Structure 1
Amino acid sequence: MPTITDTITTPDGTCPVTLATPDGDGPWPGVVMYPDAGGRRPVFEEMAAKLAGFGYAVLLPDVYYRDGDWAPFDLNTAFSDPDERKRVMSMMSSITPDKMATDAGAFFDYLEARPEVSGSAFGTTGYCMGGRTSLMVAGRVPERVAAAMSFHGGGLAADDASSPHLLADQISAAVYVAGAENDGSFTTEQSETLDKALTDADVEHTIETYPAAHGFAVPDHDAVYDPDAAQRHWDAMKSFFGAKLG
């Protein structure tokens, strides 16, 4: 898929991005893909290109751009190595809901201005912390999000004031959430809490639990990547975005 490298100016600086598009002439619906805790890296550029092949202009941002030229993470060791765990947790926690919202506004403005992109409302999708961001953005910038997806996202219905489920009554997008079995970051109880919040707010939504581990969709996370679950997630994105973004 054709891919360009660019930067987007946000209230906090300059965010490097890639924009992957299908072959041929556009314009196409836009989607923002939020990476997992490992941040933007080659595997996510490949995933963005694959999603673009379904007929979308896919923006992949460096969500850690405020940290400058940060050293890449290896998710196979990032949480077991004490120093790397400290670094990744610090960088993850630095991306607050306010920063998610202001970044998203800049990302959506960029997409709306691109000749390759159609419309003024977009899709969001994300993995792990990016799955939380996807739902957070749907609640914080509702007029710009038509469809929001989350894959093995954590903290979606947490016991804290910044949990995305508390924004349910602000969400106008259709929502799809795929959790993982035995995932402490998104338990059965949390799934039920999220389902109730979205139902009470009359949000169109689907919540599923895949028989796989947290991280199932990302190929460079060797210990937990599950090809069957990953294919199911691609099928879900093709179907869901196809129905909600057109």
Structure 2
Amino acid sequence: MCDDDIHVGLVEDPTLSRRGFGLLAVAAAAGVATSAHAAAVVETDVQVKTPDGLADAALFHPEGKGKWPAVLIWCDFLSLRPVFREMGRRLAAEGYVVLVPNFYYRTRKAPVFEGAFNFASPEDRAKIAPMRAQLDAAAVDRDAPAYIAFLDAQPQTDRKKKIGVQGYCMGGPLTFRTAALSPSRVGAAASFHSGALVTTEPSSPHLGIASSRAAYLVATADNDDKQRPAEKDQLKAAFAAAGRTATVEVYTGANHGWCVPGSPVYNQAAAEKAWAELLKLYKAHL
């Protein structure tokens, strides 16, 4: 992981504060992450056994009898918290079994940070840095298969269908890595306002594209593209070389963090467009 994984356009994440819950409610009223989804969805707090311990996570699936494709959600820098529960609930209402893990489980249960978080504050970032340092490539290589195995073990999961993986901010690189680690299971991978997907490191996320069998959606923030203008073309070239189906799009006017309801940079129109593209990807490839 690198500093590029940190929210560039998000100064404060109010989804962790009382004010943030109010903002999330406003977004819900607008039809973005409605509490009405809860009536059709079963939500359970679970623990996932990994090689390193027990990861606390939220599991969602539609009410009633049936089997549905599974999806793993990699959160952004602050991991599992109420706004990502809402996103998991909303996706489950569309007909998916959804797991949203706390990827900092080695250090602390979710939510890992109480109160408003200022990404511009070195003090606030320092509180998360030790937890984030533990989530290196080797840790992801142990965690991701465990999360997929957990999803496959759920009676609601249709194991005849491929699994989807989606990630936000630093969750984008983790999504790419998961698709490469489990090519036989992951059929679709989506990244939203991601951290750097193309680096000079041997563990660069884009290097795993050829090892995967997934179709991809890469929704890039406007200000991320300005910082890394060559990345979109490098990704397109990597997808083409590997023969992977992929959509790579810069969301003009939407800054890093735009998909997360309640954040100061939340862009409802762009978020809804990205959501529609996500559902299109899953319907076609899961």
TM-score scaled by length of structure 2: 0.80
Measure the CA separation in 1 of the matches of 2:213 and 2:109. Answer: 36
User: What is the Cα deviation at residue 125 of structure 1?
Assistant: 0.5
Contact preservation (8 Å) 2:80, 2:110: no
Say if 1:70 and 1:30 are closer, same or farther in 2 by CA, change over 3 A: closer
What is the 5 A alignment of 1:142-181? 142-181=183-222
Structure 1 equivalent of residue 140 of structure 2:
100
Say if 1:30 and 1:190 are closer, same or farther in 2 by CA, change over 3 A: same
Structure 2 equivalent of residue 50 of structure 1:
90
5+ residue gaps in structure 1?
none
Structure 2 equivalent of residue 29 of structure 1:
69
The question of 1:234 aligning with 2:275 is answered yes
Measure the CA separation in 2 of the matches of 1:232 and 1:79. Answer: 26
Structure 2 equivalent of residue 140 of structure 1:
181
Structure 1 equivalent of residue 100 of structure 2:
60
SS in structure 1 opposite 2:45?
Answer: strand
Measure the CA separation in 1 of the matches of 2:235 and 2:149. Answer: 29
Structure 2 equivalent of residue 214 of structure 1:
256
Alignment: residue pair count: 244
Contact preservation (8 Å) 2:166, 2:175: yes
Q: Percent identity?
A: 36
User: What is the Cα deviation at residue 132 of structure 1?
Assistant: 1.3
User: What is the Cα deviation at residue 182 of structure 1?
Assistant: 2.0
Question: Residue type of the partner of 1:142?
Answer: P
Q: CA RMSD, aligned part only?
A: 1.8
Measure the CA separation in 2 of the matches of 1:143 and 1:20. Answer: 23
- Higher Cα radius of gyration: 2
TM-score scaled by length of structure 1: 0.93
Say if 1:207 and 1:75 are closer, same or farther in 2 by CA, change over 3 A: farther
After superposing on structure 2, the runs of 4+ consecutive aligned residues of structure 1 that deviate more than 4 Å are none
Contact preservation (8 Å) 1:101, 1:141: no
Measure the CA separation in 1 of the matches of 2:116 and 2:255. Answer: 14
